[in-house]
Structure 1
């Protein structure tokens, strides 16, 4: 099929199709408003230009390598990042604009009334106001000119080149990109990693099922032996359990649940010192687990200004490499899970709320949300001294989130790029306010480092330190954060000091997989199930205690590991329970000989995946249905695996529930016609926001589950969004789940998908490669 025929087929298919909803993206089901086949849509479906571009910031060169990665070079940083902005717009402009519209509450303006509830939430949370506060705070720093230059580069592309196909189909043009938009992307990333309404769900469960059930489903500590810091940690003390709380209303909670971080968001990373490697130099590995989509959430870049080079990935709209390596070292991140959001009740009287014995007026702003093909709608934004005030169906709650103030993470990420060793990285990390992350780092001097980033609030009630897992009395000023100024500049005095946050200097090896960091009971409200963390430490311990060194090849094998700890813990019990049960002997035999690996060609893996879902339903379904609680209230898999007792299994037993779940799994597998796990576990879930077959990725079978190191969750399209192995001083490798280009007609739209599915890699060299595509010349005055 020639390219012109392919374009016609694509446009025709989209215009004649219906976009279906999916959990992957909150905007997917909104993209139903397509323009007629028009000149603008047709012009958008054209090859990208090449040539010369004027730059007000000086000369630069843009090349693309064999995998569509922009290789950008310049003598001056501003010239470099002008070219980076141009490249990102060239490759991901629709993605940039879609993310910006989501966070500003401007989706309805292009897709219609279906997006209004999303816009209402984002306007009331005023993420844009927090981004503006951050830009005002950063304007005097050495990072500000670079952020401005990046915005200039994005706008240069928009002003001079054809827009991507999606703009023609939705019949609109993007507004100019601003520095505040870049900082809004920082807020989006941070919200996706730390924005959780788990406290509100816990309160709802406590009200409907009782306080004991809430403690069992949402325990403060998961009882396992694989924390991140295994030696030299705090030791910890028991935190007083929060008292039962009155729920804020399920209508409000269920509305908010659509806009919080995906419970599957996580990541793996580990660092191994030269003491245990074949080369004598450290190795850093990282694979962040985020929503998978077409194009990917990450964008890879290879940049060089003067003699300093950096390569890795960023989020479209962010100028700087977030995860990657430079000439001195390599770094990666995983989510800490620290509790950085609190909720408040207030005594109210109309437009007033009571605070510390006085009545105060809400800070009120009426904002207009534009709606395509409909009437514009007004949204009332209310704020208290703590932050946004959210209302729904007569229920209200105040919110304090560390992202609702001026933050300096953009400074930190900028400085990582030019860091020359561990001291520079530590100095930069002091500015990393948000989100809370587990940083791992290693450098050419042999230094290794683990450090928790981000501002972590200290909460006290009546002089006693408390956890943040309850709704506080905002009128009394209960547990509020000293030095926190919503939509201003915070002093952060009521937060954990940098030196006291968990960290380890020069660990021999250390692994993070979103499990609890230490036994500090106040650090987090919700760690991940420990299965991935246990497995990574198991593999590293075994290697360290052998006579075989850690090599890059071994680290790649670790990233491909598909052993599921849930299966290893539960399947022996399941086999004993189901042995001899009518009609289940074949399933029992299949599971009995299994190695617990979620491999694509395994039938046992297929049965287990459906069995665990059925077992969760057996344990929670009846109680949740009676209480009118949906899937949003499900606890972590570790909790489900350890549930027992009459509360959860009614008049039956855990053993009987296991057998019933296996019958259900066998029936589902037969009805769906699956033979092996790969028939079910494939990449068809990774789709474009339009969710059309032409734009979506093809179905490629792959391995892994929600609880394996090789992480893929087909039911929610979450998984390893970037895999990177960096042997310091050696040849680094990486892979994306798709391709680096967002242009459907590019050969790099999905050229890495099969390699990603097979856990194969491409080079991550910092050498500049590729033929010159665009030359940036000093603008004539």
Structure 2
């Protein structure tokens, strides 16, 4: 197999076919011809000594390219963290910064214009500036500033990474505001959800009754995170109202492309010492995010005189987000809480009515530069609630907690430095964006769960209301007290659910989160959300944990590992009997394929033929059931309901016997047709087993053959604990198994720690991730430091 440098040499010599370098999906197709500069990127070496305006620090890399950074104080540490982030992930950081600022097209051309228009209208950059204003001057702000200085030190000393050469541009200096943009991107990716607009669009097309069935506010299940009322558990949830109408179908379809994708979520659990072999807790976390080359996360180990911490950071952010320190470990999953509202207004020209007065939009016009194409102008309008999003004459105002300043950086710094549960919980109280399910366990045997994040209490005429509708902004419906878009919120306002009232549990003996509904009881004081994930994973997780506890055999880290790699699909257990029952309506070819599902154990494993059939069938069945009617209604297929809705439509559902558009349809015939479609796809693609389809197709943003990761067959599906979503590129973006019995915790990335294509650590963890293997979280180190940071020092010879 050729080495990476051999491939680059072949590119330089014209010896690699055009198919290798042709961008396939992302549209980042403008790159400069390879030159001597690119070869320089392949042969650069990191300097041994780096000058710093702070104190001394050292960097040692382990055999997987994971750095241990040791320093005498925080500023020295985070300067070194910034330098290392830039050395290994500068292009990734710059790409996120450009996306959030709406400046991608200036580098990559026409393909990202729509993205830039959306991000300019949202004005995430102004929100990031407000965040930095709040943070600056605090210890966390000083750490962020030191980190930015470290990034720029790398920029000044080193030649730009390969991707900048291919696009033929130089990155701008890094600023603390850019680090805040990284945080805003993370928050948007987890809470940027237009569920109420989507539901209203479906109601406009099919009627409110149909919308309530195919876009339900509440899934019928009993696998909530907090499963019962107990004295040590606080509850908060609410009741639903009417979806209403919007007349904003084009806008909803457009915005669907910028929402957090279906499946972005995570698994986590804590098991108290009363149920474990060691008598100490177990904690596990695997966040399900977009699988990228390089990965979303960057592994690090930080050492200071008063504490050490290991885990993963977001490149561009200085602190460890998920991991463990000397006292305990913590993890996060998306809580799915509703922190975004949309508003309709009475508009007259450049004014909108708000209560008894007419107000002018806060308006400005910006130019979106487009490399190699025509520049665009975009009008940015804002109301009292936030940005006004516009598409083909349709307009809605948006309020989102991420548009106001938050204290999350202070919270994560506090977690890194926490010395036990009390300090960790105090830190979590400042975790404002995004809303998360936080789990914690420590070496003293304590466990804890808490929902975090600013959650608005909407009020209309002084009465609290649910956020499950489009509000009449002109009538001042759904107002948030204490909210200041692009400014500093009033954290003490009664417009937010108090931290102590958010769902939480002290010392839970067993608690599991998988993005399902947070609480079991709907009749509670606060409205939290109507947009939770389907409970496939949550049900399976609690089923397995309950079985393990009931077996009266103490749980071990091996049990946690088996749970994290569990491939049992509850969708298959529910629906395979329905497929088999429809066999009489199938053709011979389809029937023979359906027969593959007989006696299947519902595990989505790479060697299974039945898993292949079921996975492909689901997509074809979804399109058969929903596609024609959504097309006829002029609705974007991005709005099609999820698998929970699809698989719970029984044969007598009005969607089949009395559809809102067209003639009645037999579910049995749609099942048979979907199996026939599946057979045709299998024949066309030459698939034999699930692993032929379910592969680690993790691509670089350029989607160039030589930059993409290798493809390996793996287990799992969108609904299994071992989470893989091939079609959307979502999956377990990091796996952590934390323990406190004297043995090292374990972790693995889906790729490699180094974003440099020429590094040995570009994708060296991918095979282990695909095969369900792990490495020690805390590295074992030998030898001298790779990098030394010295005050006033310079390059070594």
TM-score range for the pair, normalised by the shorter chain length: over 0.9
Distance 1:506 1:305 in 2: 29
Contact 1:41-1:171 within 8 A present in 2 as well: no
User: Which of 542, 545, 548 in structure 1 is aligned with 2:550?
Assistant: 545
User: Which of 772, 776, 781 in structure 2 is aligned with 1:759?
Assistant: 772
**Gap change, CA 1:135 and 1:15, over 3 Å in 2:** farther
Corresponding position of 1:369: 368
Contact 1:71-1:769 within 8 A present in 2 as well: no
How far is the alpha carbon of 1:140 from its aligned partner?
Answer: 2.2
Contact 1:266-1:513 within 8 A present in 2 as well: yes
Corresponding position of 1:667: 680
**Gap change, CA 1:770 and 1:619, over 3 Å in 2:** farther
User: Which of 567, 575, 580 in structure 2 is aligned with 1:575?
Assistant: 580
**Gap change, CA 1:580 and 1:379, over 3 Å in 2:** closer
Corresponding position of 1:718: 730
Q: How does 1:57-68 map to 2 (within 5 A)?
A: 57-68=54-65
Corresponding position of 2:717: 705
Q: Give the gaps of 5 or more residues in structure 2.
A: 658-663
Query: Aligned to 1:219, what secondary structure does the other structure show?
Result: coil
Distance 1:770 1:359 in 2: 70
Structure 1 residue 116 corresponds to structure 2 residue 124: no
Corresponding position of 2:435: 436
Distance 1:450 1:394 in 2: 45
Query: Aligned to 1:629, what secondary structure does the other structure show?
Result: coil
Distance 2:4 2:396 in 1: 53
**Gap change, CA 1:21 and 1:401, over 3 Å in 2:** farther
How far is the alpha carbon of 1:390 from its aligned partner?
Answer: 1.2
Structure 1 residue 555 corresponds to structure 2 residue 560: yes
Structure 1 residue 648 corresponds to structure 2 residue 655: yes
**Gap change, CA 1:234 and 1:499, over 3 Å in 2:** closer
- What per-residue deviation string (whole Å, max 9, x for no partner) do you get for residues 602-647 of structure 1? 0000010111112212221222121122321122211111013354
Corresponding position of 1:330: 329
Corresponding position of 1:145: 142
Contact 1:269-1:512 within 8 A present in 2 as well: yes
Distance 1:303 1:774 in 2: 14
How far is the alpha carbon of 1:664 from its aligned partner?
Answer: 2.1
Corresponding position of 1:359: 358
More off after superposition, 447-456 vs 457-466: 457-466
Corresponding position of 1:744: 757
User: Which of 147, 153, 158 in structure 2 is aligned with 1:161?
Assistant: 158
**Gap change, CA 1:777 and 1:585, over 3 Å in 2:** same
Query: Aligned to 1:208, what secondary structure does the other structure show?
Result: helix
- What per-residue deviation string (whole Å, max 9, x for no partner) do you get for residues 86-126 of structure 1? 10101001001011000011111111233222111111111
Q: How does 1:313-352 map to 2 (within 5 A)?
A: 313-352=312-351
Q: Give the gaps of 5 or more residues in structure 1.
A: 23-27
Q: How does 1:163-202 map to 2 (within 5 A)?
A: 163-202=160-199
How far is the alpha carbon of 1:709 from its aligned partner?
Answer: 0.3
Distance 1:467 1:771 in 2: 59
Contact 1:312-1:324 within 8 A present in 2 as well: yes
Query: Aligned to 2:403, what secondary structure does the other structure show?
Result: coil
Corresponding position of 2:623: 617
More off after superposition, 365-374 vs 489-498: 365-374
Query: Aligned to 1:344, what secondary structure does the other structure show?
Result: strand
Corresponding position of 1:94: 91
Query: Aligned to 1:398, what secondary structure does the other structure show?
Result: strand
| Root mean square deviation, CA, Å | 1.9
TM-score (norm: length of structure 2): 0.94
More off after superposition, 455-464 vs 746-755: 455-464
**Gap change, CA 1:205 and 1:3, over 3 Å in 2:** closer
Distance 2:177 2:790 in 1: 26
Query: Aligned to 2:210, what secondary structure does the other structure show?
Result: helix
Corresponding position of 2:660: none
Contact 1:71-1:770 within 8 A present in 2 as well: no
- What per-residue deviation string (whole Å, max 9, x for no partner) do you get for residues 180-224 of structure 1? 111111100000000012221111111111111111111111001
More off after superposition, 599-608 vs 138-147: 138-147
How far is the alpha carbon of 1:264 from its aligned partner?
Answer: 1.5
Corresponding position of 2:299: 300
Query: Aligned to 1:772, what secondary structure does the other structure show?
Result: coil
How far is the alpha carbon of 1:462 from its aligned partner?
Answer: 4.0
Distance 1:337 1:58 in 2: 42
Corresponding position of 1:289: 288
How far is the alpha carbon of 1:306 from its aligned partner?
Answer: 1.2
Corresponding position of 1:25: none
Corresponding position of 1:731: 744
User: Which of 209, 215, 219 in structure 1 is aligned with 2:216?
Assistant: 219
More off after superposition, 325-334 vs 622-631: 622-631
How far is the alpha carbon of 1:466 from its aligned partner?
Answer: 2.3
Corresponding position of 1:419: 418
Contact 1:310-1:766 within 8 A present in 2 as well: no
Distance 1:578 1:3 in 2: 51
Query: Aligned to 1:569, what secondary structure does the other structure show?
Result: helix
How far is the alpha carbon of 1:770 from its aligned partner?
Answer: 6.0
**Gap change, CA 1:167 and 1:465, over 3 Å in 2:** same
Contact 1:297-1:721 within 8 A present in 2 as well: yes
Q: How does 1:75-90 map to 2 (within 5 A)?
A: 75-90=72-87
Corresponding position of 1:693: 705
Distance 2:67 2:243 in 1: 54
Contact 1:236-1:519 within 8 A present in 2 as well: no
How far is the alpha carbon of 1:581 from its aligned partner?
Answer: 4.5
Distance 2:17 2:305 in 1: 45
**Gap change, CA 1:646 and 1:517, over 3 Å in 2:** closer
- What per-residue deviation string (whole Å, max 9, x for no partner) do you get for residues 111-158 of structure 1? 123322211111111101001001001112111111111001000001
Contact 1:251-1:393 within 8 A present in 2 as well: yes
**Gap change, CA 1:731 and 1:351, over 3 Å in 2:** same
Distance 1:396 1:21 in 2: 33
**Gap change, CA 1:462 and 1:534, over 3 Å in 2:** same
Query: Aligned to 2:563, what secondary structure does the other structure show?
Result: helix
How far is the alpha carbon of 1:20 from its aligned partner?
Answer: 3.9
Corresponding position of 2:507: 506
Distance 1:403 1:14 in 2: 45
How far is the alpha carbon of 1:467 from its aligned partner?
Answer: 1.8
**Gap change, CA 1:10 and 1:86, over 3 Å in 2:** farther
**Gap change, CA 1:429 and 1:267, over 3 Å in 2:** same
How far is the alpha carbon of 1:14 from its aligned partner?
Answer: 9.4
- What per-residue deviation string (whole Å, max 9, x for no partner) do you get for residues 292-331 of structure 1? 0111111111110114110101111111000000010000
Distance 1:4 1:512 in 2: 44
**Gap change, CA 1:581 and 1:486, over 3 Å in 2:** closer
Corresponding position of 1:775: 788
More off after superposition, 124-133 vs 31-40: 31-40
**Gap change, CA 1:552 and 1:495, over 3 Å in 2:** same
Corresponding position of 1:602: 608
Distance 1:228 1:742 in 2: 36
User: Which of 690, 694, 703 in structure 2 is aligned with 1:677?
Assistant: 690
More off after superposition, 333-342 vs 49-58: 49-58
Distance 1:234 1:424 in 2: 20
Corresponding position of 1:9: 10
More off after superposition, 421-430 vs 582-591: 582-591
**Gap change, CA 1:357 and 1:76, over 3 Å in 2:** same
Distance 2:237 2:700 in 1: 47
Query: Aligned to 2:333, what secondary structure does the other structure show?
Result: strand
Query: Aligned to 1:695, what secondary structure does the other structure show?
Result: coil
Distance 2:34 2:372 in 1: 18
TM-score (norm: length of structure 1): 0.96
More off after superposition, 585-594 vs 761-770: 761-770
How far is the alpha carbon of 1:662 from its aligned partner?
Answer: 1.9
